[in-house]
A and B are shown apart, each in its own frame.
Chain A
């Protein structure tokens, strides 16, 4: 049974993506018998390229992916280089997991509330600095260049890249490298950039690629922060797929293939940039310069991440404020009246989506955790090295969701599975699995093997040793991995919306649906609930091991 686990995981990840891509590729060239497409044709493509504003949609999708990733990576790298051992370093390390747990949509809403013409930032500086007595008439959120979308993406990408880097760093023994470089006269930030970064980057390359793929094709954030006329390509595709006119389905398939191409082009462009930067900095690494740029880099490294983390926190506070705001005249920083009306009115509507969210999250995460544990235990028992096929784990994160989920529905329907709750859970599993694996694998492999040898030598069977020794010892990382899985599931918009055919509603689909309207108070309530759920998971994951540990100690005394 156990031996099948790795194959099962790979199949679970590869088959749906493959089938989904195939069933998007065929209709893109006119072939989809279920919808009356029996012959290959280029009509979908001709129709696609005749769409007004397509070039702009494509350009913004491409640019927002590259620009936001470059900014986020630069901020993370310089922060790590400049802040080691400072209070900022310690507080950000504590904040990074909760920040990562906040769903994209909640961050996007909160960020929009901050920067909107009548948002918190404008209120803070008005009328004292700006002279505004009324909100300025400016298109800040949904700006045509996608700048607010890029900024929102950066806020979410920074904690992800930071966490991935922090997980990879210990194996590089950065302290030793730094000590050596500093004893040779290198100032701390420069020393980190010259001696740690070149070894760190290869270890976080796949996560960086996943970020690019995500950012070029994101739907929920683009619905909230992105440009509208035309929207990003991914948002256009969603509209075309939902169009009642059947011919739009074929065009949408072509557009999904185009989206895949854009993501691949962005990845290729990034790879070329990598080569360019490597060539350009090769001389700098060994030119002996030890101090130059230290102050500027240190200043930027510390302030940029401080600002982005504060923005993310302020976004949450903004959501909270709007959710309890009554009457709120413009330049006032705080509402004149606080009220729980919006919460009370939403209360009854929240119950069912909350239940669905919890159900989908718990089932998909439990399945994912079981599969990951089986794979890791098998790896341990067979004394296997972590496989090179590991990068397949990243497949669902590297292929844009919008490019294969529609095809996945078609594929599922062709074997008689209709969109419904079960399909949503299976879809979530696809995205939860990689994250659970990534957050658990390192802790699993690092557990001192002698614990299990001791258990076995005391006459305990292999599986008993797994249940009675390994799992209790790994309780903390296991719970964290579970909380990560839950957070990923809770935040999923597109898989829930598409695989549930709009009939499976979670707090995330409901919150994003509110983006079209303009009731900020209601949005505040839903986005806050959406942000709060994963945080509860993380808090439980942090406190449970302590509570259980305290119990042990009490029994002992």
Chain B
């Protein structure tokens, strides 16, 4: 996973079942800079699909199908070597680290962190926040830091699990455009699962309906 040229994320005939009952079947290709939206009501197995791709599928599920990032078969790799970044409903900023510490946590080793962290904070309108305790941030600020931490880690593809559902309506629109423009700019293939049609519209890519 060292080559950093944009790669395509290919979900090949994926089927996931729980206790013999099929939850979902997906076959799709996501080009660099594209966002594929998977829609469905809760319980349709959207998050399970993300867990399978990222390498966190629980033991009780059975799954088949291939996950390819460019030439690499991701299913042979442990979660931490897949190069897949996750963005959750909750920003999950580590409470024992400062805002800057959280960003440095995402940076690869031996990168010029001081400058990069300052620059990243400026990009999301939080210049000077490096030493702050994440608990003192507003919901929207936390979400922006979480996004920046993800991007600094240089993922090769991104999975988004209802990332806007806990934000209030005004913030939601702002975060949507920030997230999708950043992903497009970085040229990353992204998979968004949501039950909100406005998310899918903002993503602007193809849509798969489940359930």
Binding site for B on A (CB under 8 A): 176-177, 179-188, 191, 194-195, 198-199, 285-291
Contacts and interface: CB of A to CB of B under 8 A. Distances in A.
A183 B95 contact: no
Contact of A187 (B80, B84, B108): B80
Given A176-B90, A177-B92, 12 more contacts: A176-B92, A177-B94, A179-B54, A182-B78, A185-B80, A187-B78, A194-B105, A195-B94, A198-B94, A286-B113, A288-B105, A288-B108
Interface string B92-110: 1011110011001111111
Contact of A288 (B95, B96, B104): B104
Contact of B104 (A188, A198, A199, A287): A287
Name A's interface SS: helix
Nearest to A287: B109
Given A183-B86, A188-B80, A290 B109 contact: yes
A188 B153 CA distance: 17
Contacts of B110: 288
B44 interface: no
Interface in B49-71: 54-56
Contacts of B78: 182, 187-188
B170 to A, nearest CB: 26
Q: Is chain B's binding surface mostly helix, strand, loop or mixed?
A: loop
Given A180-B92, A199-B95, A185 B113 contact: no
Chain B interface size band reads 20 to 34
B81 interface: yes
B104 A184 contact: no
B205 to A, nearest CB: 21
A186 B85 CA distance: 12
Nearest to B84: A183
Interface of B: 54-56, 78-81, 83-86, 88, 90, 92, 94-97, 100-101, 104-111, 113, 149-150, 153, 155
A542 B184 CA distance: 56
A285 B79 contact: no
B80 A290 contact: yes
Contacts of B84: 183
A185 B83 contact: yes
Contacts of A187: 78, 80
A183 B78 CA distance: 10
Contacts of A287: 104, 109
B163 to A, nearest CB: 13
Contacts of A177: 92, 94
B153 A184 contact: yes
B105 A184 contact: yes
Nearest to A283: B104
10 residue pairs, one from A and one from B, having the closest CB atoms: A286-B104, A198-B96, A288-B109, A183-B86, A182-B80, A182-B79, A184-B153, A286-B101, A288-B107, A289-B109
